[in-house]
Amino acid sequence: MMLPVCFALFWACETEIEHPTALTPDTFVLNTPPYVSGIYDLKNTETIQLTCSQPAYGFTAVTTYRVLVATEKEFANCDTLLTPFNSAKIDVSASEIAVAIVNLLGVTDEAEFPVEPIPVYIRLLAELSDGSHQVLSNIIELPKVKSYFALSPMVMPQNMYLIGNVAGDWVWNAATTMVPVYGTEGKFWTVQYLGKAANDASAEIKFNQTKAWDETAFGIQTAVIDDASKNLANISGEDNIIIGNPGWYIVVVTTEISGRDYIYTVQLFEPAVYLCGDVIGGVWGAGENNKFTVPDISLGASANFVSPAFTANSGEGGVRAAVVLDGHEWWHTEFMVFDGELKYRATGGDQDRVAGAVGQKLYINFTNRTGKIEQ
């Protein structure tokens, strides 16, 4: 009789250990550094060390700590530093604190930045690894922080979006998400319909790193557009990039950083898409016999690009397809259809193989990001 009872108790204990219930404490302790009375010279210091107690979640949990910085004791306005931590011993980047202070003070001119040390206030935000059970620590004061006019580092954009009257109808949530080029930071591409818009208006486009109308959005005034692209698409405009020759295009955006500025180069190419691999005679890259048929512009944005018929079974190599950009291998801009969905290699690894048979064709809808392989 005792054996089932013991087993049940053992199972209950095991379940509680494997699936503990996390508590959400009211706060936890951020310790005041031992040398807080000294001057923290951020320009000549690499890190500031902080320590804290782990929040009382009821069990030992993997906790993520984020550092919040303020320049006012009330902590009504604060800046969250970029680097998260997973230890109760935290080495905070002095340069990140300096950037936060510049943002909090709202200083845009180095001449206006305070020379004398100022008080800075810090607290931590703790959360579990899934982002739940957030809790704030107490606030500590570093009374003498000598900072400097620090600006956040310029980094290459991780995303690029194309918007226009034929690309989302000027709504960012419906804009075209451009595809990163493998191996080249800040370079993006897309096959884009730039035909006539409503009321027979010419296509007009702009770009941005974010889906928003902010200071990083750019058009013809701030983009470098080469003569070949201007002539191909008959480009004009004063703000938006206006396409005088309606059609399908490969649109490429390349980013450079010059000082504190981004330099964007926009290029437009003919919409050459290629079938690659064993299914088309072992051709890898550009060729006249493996080029997709471009849909007639009158069919609109949701028409399919159609490959030549497969001349052989795919074998282990699978069906492959790509656009080809100067200076890049074809697989840097590769894509394939998986269960009806168009997926790009982008910055990822080699894609899975998809089988094809003699006589079949690959159909790609770049606007809807769909496709199929069939006769």
For the chain, the domains span: 28-146, 161-269, 273-374
Classified by CATH at the fold level, domain 273-374 comes out as Immunoglobulin-like (2.60.40)
CATH superfamily of the 28-146 domain: Immunoglobulins (2.60.40.10)
Burial class of residue 139 (count of CB atoms within 10 Å of its CB; 0-12, 13-18, 19+): middle
**Tens-digit pLDDT profile for residues 156-180:** 999 999 999 999 999 999 999 999 9
Q: With pLDDT > 90 as the criterion, what percentage of the chain qualifies?
A: 86
Tokens 């295009």, residue?
249
- pLDDT, position 173: 96
Average pLDDT over residues 202-206: 98
CA-CA-CA-CA dihedral for 96, 99, 105, 106, to nearest 10? -140
Q: Which stretch of 85-89, 130-134, 349-353 has the lowest confidence by average pLDDT?
A: 130-134
Top-confidence range, 7-21, 59-73, 349-363: 349-363
Average pLDDT over residues 243-271: 96
pLDDT higher than 90, residue 40: yes
Residues in contact with 43: Cβ distance below 8 Å, sequence separation at least 6, in sequence order: 94, 98, 146, 147, 148
pTM value is 0.74
Average pLDDT over residues 46-54: 96
Average pLDDT, the chain: 93
pLDDT higher than 60, residue 320: yes
How is residue 277 written in tokens? 């691999």
pLDDT higher than 50, residue 222: yes
- pLDDT, position 41: 96
Confidence of residue 60 (pLDDT cuts 50, 70, 90): confident
Average pLDDT over residues 177-204: 97
- pLDDT, position 356: 97
Confidence of residue 14 (pLDDT cuts 50, 70, 90): very low
- pLDDT, position 18: 54
pLDDT higher than 70, residue 187: yes
Has domain 161-269 been given CATH number 2.60.40.3620? yes
Confidence of residue 9 (pLDDT cuts 50, 70, 90): very low
pLDDT higher than 70, residue 11: no
3-state per-residue secondary structure call for the chain: CHHHHHHHHHHHHHHHHHCCCCCCCCCECECCCCCCCCCEEHHHCCEEEEEECCCCCCCCCCEEEEEEEECCCCCCCCEECCCCECCCEEEEEHHHHHHHHHHHHCCCCHHHCCCCCEEEEEEEEEEECCCCCCEEECCEEEEEEECCCCCCCCCCCCCCEEEECCEECCCHHHCEECEECCCCCCEEEEEEEECCCHHHCCEEEEEECCCCCCCCCECCCCEEECHHHHHHHCEECCCCEEECCCEEEEEEEEEEEECCEEEEEEEEECCCEEEEEHHHCCECCCCCCCECECCCHHHCCCCCEECCCCCCCCHHHCCEEEECCCCCCHHHHEEEEECCEEEECCCCCCCCCCCCCCCCEEEEECCCCEEEEEC
Tokens 């510049």, residue?
102
Greater confidence (3 vs 204) lies with 204
Rg (CA), the chain: 28
- pLDDT, position 19: 53
Distance, in Å, from the CA atom of 37 to the CA atom of 21, rounded to the nearest integer, reads 41
Beta carbons of 324 and 271 less than 8 angstroms apart: no
Q: Which stretch of 15-29, 252-266, 318-332 has the lowest confidence by average pLDDT?
A: 15-29
- pLDDT, position 372: 98
Q: Phi and psi (nearest 5°) for 225?
A: -125, 120
Q: Which stretch of 15-29, 44-58, 105-119, 322-336 has the lowest confidence by average pLDDT?
A: 15-29
Does this chain's domain 28-146 share its CATH topology with 273-374?
A: yes
pLDDT higher than 80, residue 16: no
**Tens-digit pLDDT profile for residues 72-123:** 999 999 999 999 999 999 999 999 999 999 999 999 899 999 999 999 999 9
